[in-house]
Homo-oligomer: A and B are copies of this chain.
Amino acid sequence: MKSNSEATRLRFYISNTDKFRHTLLSETLVFAAKRYGLAGATVTKGCMGYGSSSVIHSAKFWEITEKLPVIVEMVDEPTKIEQFVNIILPWFDKIPTGCLVTAEKVQVVLFKQGMKKKFF
């Protein structure tokens, strides 16, 4: 990915309780993105929400297992994102929970690689 190019942002609207093969789905997605070489991934936890399974969950309500919305966000070149989507979409067929995946075009204003630290 280069500065001043066009990129695609992928957003997964899932839940913090969603699992895929006994691992958290959000972690699985981040590790998959890393393995596939995507430029970056960010997981944000929401404090309230509902999805296609249609019950409102909130950090305010008392619940035995806290179920909160989680958004996983990835940005990279359109072709790379497309290939990544083709790889991981079949996974969602094996998961009983609902989810929403959106894609949108964004302009990359700056993409800068961090320098490798020598001692850590």
- Secondary structure of the A side of the interface? strand
Chain A, interface size category, equals 35 or more
**How long is the Cα–Cα vector from A27 to B107 in the complex, in angstroms?**
23
B51 touches A43 (CB 8 A): no
Q: Tell me how many chains of this kind the complex includes.
A: 3
With A44-B46, A92-B110, A109-B89 already in contact, the answer to whether A100 and B52 are too (CB < 8 A) is: no
Q: Which residues of B contact A110 (CB under 8 A)?
A: 89, 92, 99-101
**How long is the Cα–Cα vector from A22 to B3 in the complex, in angstroms?**
26
Q: Which residues of B contact A105 (CB under 8 A)?
A: 104
Which residues of A line the B interface, CB within 8 A? 1, 7, 9-11, 13, 26-27, 30-31, 34, 39-54, 56, 58, 69, 71, 75, 85, 89, 92, 96-116
Known: A40-B100, A101-B109. 12 other contacts (CB 8 A): A13-B75, A39-B51, A40-B51, A42-B71, A43-B69, A75-B102, A85-B109, A89-B110, A99-B114, A101-B108, A102-B108, A103-B106
